Amino acid sequence: MAAKTTVVAFIAAIAGLLGGCAEALPGTARNLGPGNYDETFLIAKDTMAQFYSIQNANFETGVISARPKTMAPEPDSLLSTAPVRQISSMQIRRENDELIAYLSVAIQQEQSTIHRQITETAENYDGVPNKSPADRDGATTDAQNKTWVTQRYDRKMEAQILAVLQKALNSKP
């Protein structure tokens, strides 16, 4: 009986530890050191504006989001004719009296037929097609059938933007 209690307690402790594990944020983090949050946020916003058109800058959450930036498709991609874009977002946070910048520059490619892939696998329990192609696509628009999928993160661009931010913070009066 004591062995079962020990095993149950051990499993509960492991589950409690794993439950507190947070998924790592995508992108790159840089410790900016101690500093004034207000000034750092404004400098970060100006830095992002050097590379992207700013869509939203929320002082309360520390998130600076850029408008999507169109890119040329990569020539070695199987979907090389599909549109490609960069999505960039930076967050300034205070952690243990230090300011941290989290920057994510995602490379996304547009993909289609998502609606068809989802409905075809979910609609047939016996594997027999019971909808015509017109039924599958008739009630959807082109926009409903397309989505942006993250292909990778541009670590080189993240490092470049964070270096400009660090330089701007170090040179402030």
pLDDT in tens, 49-73: 999 999 999 999 999 999 999 887 7
DSSP state of 97: T
pLDDT in tens, 87-118: 999 999 998 889 999 999 998 888 765 444 55
pTM of the model: 0.67
Q: How far apart are CA 36 and CA 97, in angstroms?
A: 10
Q: How far apart are CA 10 and CA 5, in angstroms?
A: 9
User: Strands 84-95 and 98-112: what pairing?
Assistant: antiparallel
Q: Which residue has the tokens 């307690």?
A: 9
Q: Which CATH architecture does the domain made up of 21-113+147-170 adopt?
A: 2-Layer Sandwich (3.30)
Q: How confident is the model at residue 17 (pLDDT cuts 50, 70, 90)?
A: very low
Q: How far apart are CA 45 and CA 57, in angstroms?
A: 7
Paired tokens of 79: 């979907």
Q: How far apart are CA 132 and CA 134, in angstroms?
A: 5
Paired tokens of 72: 């040329």
- Please state whether 61 falls in left (phi above 0), alpha (psi between -120 and 50) or beta: alpha
pLDDT in tens, 117-136: 554 555 555 555 566 666 65
Q: Structural domain boundaries of the chain? A: 21-113+147-170
Q: How confident is the model at residue 148 (pLDDT cuts 50, 70, 90)?
A: confident
